[in-house]
Copies of this chain bind each other. A is one copy, B any other.
Amino acid sequence: MKAIIQTNLEDPHSLELGETNKPQLQDGEVLVKVKAAGVNRADLLQARGHYPPPPGASEIIGLEVAGEVVDAGDTDVEVGSKVGALLAGGGYAEYVAVPQGQLLPIPTGYSFAEAASVIEVACTVWSNIAMEAGLTQGQTILIHGGAGGIGTFAIQVAKQLGATVAVTAGSDEKLETCKELGADILINYNEQDFAEELKNQCDVILDIMGAKYLKKNLIALAKGGHMVTIGMQGGTKAELNMGILLNKRLTLQGTTLRSRSLEGKATIVADTVKHVWPWLENGSVKHYLHATYALARAAEAHKALDSGEVTGKLVLEV
């Protein structure tokens, strides 16, 4: 089959369309013929050698696809079903093997490209803010990077849950985008100190900055608050004052979707489909596709995402 092969591990942009073997199905897996594959920031990290696939996963880049089931293996999935799939790897290819628990229905009205690009963000946002942090009606959530791919989706999901939403972003234009999606409290981190603005107010924080914001996040958290860190764009090592942790009864949690067990992923996929898919289908949560590229142009898509000028998701079409 055709797949994107990284020809030079020293060069993250050496992504070329090549030939490799079709994946062999393991117990409980189905073979999906890929129509579209979402491009994620984690893919850029993997091409740089910073985010290796978990043991047993495909070496091919790609964490989410949509397509058609062409071999049901030992499962009861119907051949010909149109599906989305959450992957540990292998998406940038003609075919990918998928554990049954990681298949999702295509949201009604969604194209393959739209479906392929909403899976990772929907599962990430829902698992972190709802399943892990337990965000509920009347609470306040702070979303860092509100105008990014995760942020724009998280704002909408948090509003559906009935929360007050605070966001940080680096420009008034980006904050305007957040506001249009429903954000209530807008903080330009170049002009304002979010810790001062939100001191002791945040029940939940969705963090992508790691070390750089740790101290300020502890100030912003309310008593009993819960921070979920899913990225470390601001570095990894920071001083932690455990006194504040105890006095405010705080929870700090780091998560990744990719390293979870099959069972863990299946639980997240099922809960995300149950709660988020209806919002996608009735339009109360909107998903933005920025552009599509042919699979062979994966390197170009990576460069575009790397440029920081992309405001929605990129998709490779097979």
Point out residues on A near B: beta carbons under 8 Å.
Answer: 210-211, 214, 223-224, 229-230, 232, 236-256, 259-260, 264
The copy count of this chain in the complex is 2
Determine which of B223, B236, B254 lies in contact with A248 in the assembled complex, contact meaning CB atoms within 8 Å: B254
User: Does more than half of chain A's interface fall in helix, strand or loop, or is it mixed?
Assistant: mixed
What residue of chain B has the Cβ atom nearest to residue A253's Cβ? B251
Question: Which B residues are CB-close (under 8 A) to A230?
Answer: 246
**B249 touching A242 by the CB < 8 A rule?**
no
Determine which of B232, B242, B249 lies in contact with A236 in the assembled complex, contact meaning CB atoms within 8 Å: B242
- Closest CB in chain B relative to A212 CB, distance in Å: 10
Question: Which B residues are CB-close (under 8 A) to A259?
Answer: 223, 247, 249
Determine which of B210, B248, B255 lies in contact with A249 in the assembled complex, contact meaning CB atoms within 8 Å: B255
Q: Tell me, in angstroms, the Cα distance from A260 to B212 when the chains sit together.
A: 29
Q: Tell me, in angstroms, the Cα distance from A237 to B124 when the chains sit together.
A: 31
Q: Tell me, in angstroms, the Cα distance from A239 to B239 when the chains sit together.
A: 4
- Closest CB in chain B relative to A216 CB, distance in Å: 14
**Shortest Cβ-Cβ A-B pairs, 9 listed:** A245-B254, A246-B254, A236-B243, A240-B240, A251-B253, A210-B242, A252-B252, A236-B242, A249-B255
Q: Tell me, in angstroms, the Cα distance from A245 to B235 when the chains sit together.
A: 12
- Closest CB in chain B relative to A266 CB, distance in Å: 15
**A229 touching B256 by the CB < 8 A rule?**
no
- Knowing A230-B246, A246-B255, A247-B256, the reply to whether A237 touches B240 (Cβ < 8 A) is yes
